[in-house]
Homo-oligomer: A and B are copies of this chain.
Amino acid sequence: MNFITIPSEIERRSMEIIAPYLKEYHLSEEEIKVYSRIIHASGDPEYAPIIKIHQDAISKAKAALLNGADIYTDVEMVRTGINKKRLAEYGGQVHCLIADPEVAKKAKEEGITRSMAAVRSFGKALNGSIVAIGNAPTALFEILHLMQQEEIYPALIIGVPVGFVGAAESKEHLMETSPVPYITVRGNKGGSPIAAAITNAILYML
């Protein structure tokens, strides 16, 4: 079997194959980068029609990251997928509390998901940060609740929880009520690689 083994060539060829799927959407160059990374990470061009990027999302996120903003994730897989070396060049770090024993205890006591308890624990640290939710609809609902009730305002919400129980609803709720810019995908699809792909697409624009 002959196959391409040079990483840069694999990525170049992949982006070339993805480009035609995006033609009809009249995207900016930066939006093309976000769309392409999502489709590259999922192998699924059917993401194109469901991606929703708030008009200020990319510019606000870039400004925050250049200013050293941290990134907060709901689950470890999102943290793992983010290019932390690139983020560190600008002074930022990635935080995730889902494996924290205190968070697990709190979740059990309150009968809520660990990702929801983890997001709640971040509290005011979320101000000015990038939030990347790739797994739990409950975590995204919790972020929206924090913004409304406690006036905590991240610079950008990357909200792409996945699944059949609350995911689609949480993302519609994000688009309808978020006081800050967001990037999301409508419907049941999403997940950790999608959250990481969006985050990395923006990091690579800096």
* Interface residues in chain A, defined as those with a beta carbon under 8 Å from any beta carbon in chain B: 1, 3-7, 10, 13-14, 17-18, 40-44, 76-77, 80-81, 111-114, 116, 137-138, 141, 162-167, 169-170, 173, 187-193, 196
Q: Do B169 and A1 touch (CB < 8 A)? A: yes
A118 to B114 alpha-carbon distance, docked (Å): 33
Q: Do B193 and A4 touch (CB < 8 A)? A: no
Q: Do B137 and A192 touch (CB < 8 A)? A: no
Contacts of A80 in B (CB 8 A): 76-77, 80
Instruction: Pull 14 A–B residue pairs with CB atoms less than 8 Å apart, ordered by A.
Output: A1-B141, A3-B169, A6-B113, A7-B114, A10-B138, A10-B163, A10-B165, A17-B165, A43-B164, A43-B187, A77-B77, A77-B192, A80-B80, A192-B192
A112 to B188 alpha-carbon distance, docked (Å): 36
Contacts of A137 in B (CB 8 A): 3
Q: How many copies does the complex hold?
A: 2
Not counting A10-B113, A77-B193, a sample of 16 additional A-B residue pairs whose C-beta atoms are within 8 angstroms of each other reads: A3-B169, A3-B170, A5-B113, A7-B113, A10-B166, A14-B164, A14-B165, A40-B163, A41-B191, A43-B162, A43-B187, A43-B190, A43-B191, A44-B189, A77-B77, A193-B193
Contacts of A170 in B (CB 8 A): 3
A190 to B43 alpha-carbon distance, docked (Å): 7
* Also in contact, A164 and B42, with CB within 8 A (given A1-B141, A3-B169): no
